[in-house]
Amino acid sequence: FLKGKTALITGSTSGIGLSCAKALAAEGANIIINGFGDVDAIEQERIALEELSGAKAAYSGADLTNPQAIAEMFAMAEADFGGVDILVNNAGTQYVSKIEEFPPEKWDLIMALNLTSSFHTSRLAVPGMKHKGWGRIIATASAHSKVASPGKCAYVAAKHGIDGFTKTLALETAEHGITVNAISPGYVWTPLVEEQIPDTMKTRGLTRDEVINDVLLKAQPTKEFVTKEQVASFLVYLCSDAASAITGANLSMDGGWTVQ
């Protein structure tokens, strides 16, 4: 049902973003993937997306901490696809440490990537969406946009920022056929989660199994990781006409974590 639409998914060479790209491609959308990684592997993913969608897929290696690179990515989207109809603000990173040892440059990186990049992508996407009278802006926020965990001051602050940004942008665009929402997953098994295990072991003095069972899954009453595919199918639903009344929402998908 997305034939003729173009979706740009930031941070989509891996994890949740790549699953979202595949799910949107399966609905026939043109896809712009973005992120870092092995050039050949990314090209294989790009080709696979075109096979899946029967439409076009492009790759931008824009570093989303760089506003100029974001502007160039949008110039490419405009020239090659006539703009972006569906913007998925997904790129993000994590760093786990007590505040006394939290490197200021990690704070700056997380703010730039997990929060400020969404301002730049959205400010460049909204004019075209208003012009067309249709648009979808969806953030991959986090349960950490609603609640906190120790060791994650920058991530929690940035994700709470996304919550406020989503609400504000929803109000600004509500009369233009544009919806702006956040999906807030609990723990999803991706490289982002796997890579924070060693630091959490160090910060909290735990073994790997203790981190998985007593820290990560402890928060989730279902005791199961959320899957990338579940996040992607929720995102596809938010792009449908059936979801056109949902805007400004921060929608939990966390196995019951944040109702405790």
The H or E element containing residue 59 is: strand 57-60
C-alpha 111/C-alpha 94 separation (Å) is 10
16 is an interface residue for ligand NAD by CB under 6 A: yes
Residue type, 13: T
Cβ 121 to ligand NAD shortest distance, Å:
11
C-alpha 45/C-alpha 47 separation (Å) is 5
Tracing tokens 């490419």 back to the chain, one arrives at 76
181 is an interface residue for ligand NAD by CB under 6 A: no
Cβ 130 to ligand NAD shortest distance, Å:
26
- On whether the CB atoms of residues 132 and 147 are closer than 8 A, the answer is no
C-alpha 228/C-alpha 18 separation (Å) is 9
- Return the residue of 187, 196, 203, 255 that touches ligand NAD, per CB under 6 A: 187
Cβ 81 to ligand NAD shortest distance, Å:
19
- Return the residue of 26, 48, 63, 149 that touches ligand NAD, per CB under 6 A: 63
- Give the orientation angle of helix 15-26 with respect to helix 39-53, to 10 degrees: 30
- Residue 34 or residue 203: which is nearer to ligand NAD going by CB? 34
For residue 125, the cross-strand partners are none
188 is an interface residue for ligand NAD by CB under 6 A: yes
Q: Is 155 a catalytic residue?
A: yes
Catalytic residues: 155
Binding site for ligand NAD (CB under 6 A): 11-17, 34-37, 63-65, 90-93, 113-114, 140, 142, 185, 187-188, 190-193
